[in-house]
Amino acid sequence: MTIKLSPFAEQDLDDTLEFYNGQMEGLGFEFLHEAKLIFERVQENPCQFPIAHKKMRKAKINRFPFNIFFVDEFTIPDSKYVYFSEYK
Q: What is the pLDDT of residue 81?
A: 54
Q: Give the chain's residues under pLDDT 50.
A: none
User: What is the distance between the alpha carbons of residues 19 and 42, in angstroms, rounded to a whole number?
Assistant: 25
Query: What does the pLDDT read at residue 43?
Result: 87
- CB 71 within 8 Å of CB 55: yes
Which pTM does this prediction carry?
0.81
Strand partners, 82: 4
pLDDT digits (tens, 9 = 90+) for 59-71: 999 999 989 888 8
Tell me phi and psi for residue 72, to 5 degrees: -125, 170
pLDDT at 6: 81
Q: What is the pLDDT of residue 86?
A: 59
| pLDDT confidence of residue 75 | 60
Domains and CATH numbers, the chain: 4-87 (3.30.2310.20)
